Structure 1
């Protein structure tokens, strides 16, 4: 019996929950392993959409999707149960990866290319939450790439500016994501992000999203905006108190109410749709809880970027199952319509994960508008 062709949104959703197997292991050389995320993924372009698909996770090793060896142009056929379902293209290795700083540090230890046109860096590769197993986010792999020697503990503003300029000039990067582990102190990383953004903006005209926990003082939002940060991410990850306490015991000490208050203050500075939050579906929150939170966030003007949870090797949740494609579709389809109805779209975000959209099929469900 012939398999009915899937909508692009549903195919992307299925690939991101099930992962894919690579026939040619050399194709996975530039995939993301460990680090702050997205981890254990590979960027592929499907049609005109570039997405991150798990390739180094337990579900991916059992995936029904197999990607054949690419041709000379980087195109490869994707099959499921032996039948062709799509053709994908692998982005070429970024040219800036071949450069090093004056003191010999490879550029890709300072920042990396995510998806097709977004530069990403974790400014501080250490985190107060990660220092204790009892407090660490159970899904986080921020320390893995540092332990493996693939990155630096602290990228200086000068290093980030140098790499950002090269990435724009050599690879056409269009926006940048700066995330950080949470340091000690009430600014929760806002200060180091502001210093980094100021240096990058002095070197190159590049839209920047910064990501950190909500600072204690809302005055940091104005300081970050003044430093050149265009969009802000403050990530809930999970939405119900019981799930947050179980999977992120340290970060759960910052209650959801604090996030909501900070979201309102940040939207007043950055504007509707320019503040976002990551929500990892599949950690235990129900569909109803995620959609209720999404509705609340849309009303505030915060873009709810819901992505499927991906179990990362070497973390306490490495054996936790990924969510099903049906579960994700039941969230993303109404959420996409909700976002559009609120006057926000991923394409309107100036920089960051929501604009990139590669870690979720959400933007493709947005494109479906209000259709059932």
Structure 2
């Protein structure tokens, strides 16, 4: 099976069951986003391409772990040989850390506000990075909003300052205030990701009450002037009720401004737990559109140093998968 089609099929399914040898060292668990609080996930790679899938013993798709990471994937009558990748922190080759695993906002697709999350101490985060620094290429920081947008930004800036001595590129993805891009840039952050989440402002208002779509857009725009074209990213969820035309429009607007959009298939969670994941056919079609939009804008996500665009496990990534 062609890789891009295989990955689209796995993203559509969302989860797999696993048999064979123990997989503990390959399991990743999330403290933020729609996968928070789940049983964990695995990163499966074939060559230099990877996909992240959840673990669910009821899945019709099976991995057989043959030991030492070697794994056989059985899907739709095909068997594909590949490997489980060891996870550093949250994903392979990155120390990807959630600072505050709690949030005062209640985005409809996110389970975090209902989970007993906590904020990590600055020294604790530095120790986490120190423990994996010999097997990572980057540090990525994300966070909920524990008290307020302004207070979270100030705390994350303290975290970044403590991590600078490691000498690795640092990416940051938080909900931005007006001065967030300038403050992160002044600290020496390499890349930022401020998530529009929804393809339209109306959808954002429905999904993320109390937050501002326009504020995120303004932060993205000001970030390009500071960090450069192709060093600013924004997740757009696929499956909130938008049309493909909505997605193409927002991708063109972002890419035209120098922002790399990351199309993230919806993981049904929170109050959207009953929704379906986007189909493989839709993801494949959108990936083609995504690739054309980026090419016209002269943006290459393969240059990403940090965060989701460097990992590519959760999304179809132009340049890597297609």
Matches within 5 A, 1:76-155: 76-81=71-76, 83-92=77-86, 112-114=89-91, 116-129=92-105, 136-143=106-113, 147=116, 153-155=118-120
Partner of 2:51: 51
Is the contact made by 1:283 and 1:309 (CA closer than 8 Å) also made in structure 2? yes
Is the contact made by 1:16 and 1:54 (CA closer than 8 Å) also made in structure 2? no
Query: Residues of 1 paired with 2:171 and 2:43: CA distance?
Result: 20
Equivalent pairs, count: 317
Query: Residues of 1 paired with 2:257 and 2:291: CA distance?
Result: 16
Partner of 1:214: 176
Report the secondary structure of 2:67's partner residue: coil
- Out of 171, 174, 177, the residue aligned to residue 137 of structure 2 is 174
Partner of 2:237: 280
Shift of 1:245: 2.9
Shift of 1:123: 0.8
Query: Residues of 2 paired with 1:241 and 1:61: CA distance?
Result: 37
Query: Residues of 2 paired with 1:285 and 1:46: CA distance?
Result: 32
Q: Which moved more, 1:225-234 or 1:18-27?
A: 18-27
Shift of 1:72: 2.4
Alignment deviations for residues 94-124 of structure 1 (CA, whole Å, 9 cap, x no partner)? 5xxxxxxxxxxxxxxxxx331x211111111
Is the contact made by 1:17 and 1:310 (CA closer than 8 Å) also made in structure 2? no
Partner of 1:19: 14
Is the contact made by 2:28 and 2:90 (CA closer than 8 Å) also made in structure 1? no
Shift of 1:290: 0.7
- Out of 223, 226, 251, the residue aligned to residue 269 of structure 1 is 226
Partner of 1:230: 190
Unaligned runs of 5+ in 1: 95-111, 130-135
CA RMSD of aligned residues (A): 2.3
Residues 352, 34 of structure 1: alpha-carbon distance in 2 compared, 3 angstrom cutoff: closer
Report the secondary structure of 1:71's partner residue: strand
- The answer as to 2:228 corresponding to 1:305 is no
Query: Residues of 2 paired with 1:325 and 1:158: CA distance?
Result: 42
TM-score, normalised to structure 2's length?
0.89
TM-score, normalised to structure 1's length?
0.78
Report the secondary structure of 1:363's partner residue: coil
Q: In proportion to residue count, which structure has more strand?
A: 2
Larger Rg: 1
- Out of 210, 219, 227, the residue aligned to residue 250 of structure 1 is 210
Residues 188, 343 of structure 1: alpha-carbon distance in 2 compared, 3 angstrom cutoff: farther
Is the contact made by 1:34 and 1:141 (CA closer than 8 Å) also made in structure 2? no
Residues 188, 341 of structure 1: alpha-carbon distance in 2 compared, 3 angstrom cutoff: farther
Alignment deviations for residues 286-340 of structure 1 (CA, whole Å, 9 cap, x no partner)? 111011100000011111000111124xx22222110101111111111122113
Query: Residues of 2 paired with 1:230 and 1:53: CA distance?
Result: 28
Query: Residues of 2 paired with 1:31 and 1:143: CA distance?
Result: 23
Residues 35, 44 of structure 1: alpha-carbon distance in 2 compared, 3 angstrom cutoff: same
Unaligned runs of 5+ in 2: none
Is the contact made by 2:149 and 2:175 (CA closer than 8 Å) also made in structure 1? no
Residues 289, 306 of structure 1: alpha-carbon distance in 2 compared, 3 angstrom cutoff: same
Query: Residues of 2 paired with 1:163 and 1:35: CA distance?
Result: 14
Partner of 1:9: 4
Alignment deviations for residues 118-145 of structure 1 (CA, whole Å, 9 cap, x no partner)? 111111122120xxxxxx112212256x
